[in-house]
Amino acid sequence: MNCLFCRIIAGEIPSNKVYEDERVLAFRDISPQAPTHILIIPKEHYDSVLEAPADTVAYMVDIAKKLAVQEGVDKNGFRLVINTGDEGGQSVKHLHLHLIGGRSMQWPPG
């Protein structure tokens, strides 16, 4: 298995886990861009959002909303990001949703 996030799901690589159920795993980003920076990933491997069924993506967003409340970033706001492909800045080819919050952010991003 050469997918980094599949190896995290399998427990072969440690992660700072914040949530897990039968469909998704959520863990803290190793290089946080804000006080709250969590990655929500499906346990089933999809290279990107292009391959994933809509209900999987919707479920990931639902979990991200719950984690935003748990992290206390729901009141001030947060950002959900799915980088896709090379020009989209996707470095890990396993679908992941970034939950980023806890500081003010500009739009558009750099």
Catalytic residues: 96
Instruction: Between 27 and 78, name the residue whose CB sits nearer to ligand AMP.
Output: 27
Q: Which residues contact ligand AMP by CB under 6 A?
A: 4, 13, 15, 27, 29-31, 39, 83, 89-92
18: CB partners within 8 A, 6+ apart: 26, 27, 28, 38, 67, 70
Instruction: Between 44 and 92, name the residue whose CB sits nearer to ligand AMP.
Output: 92
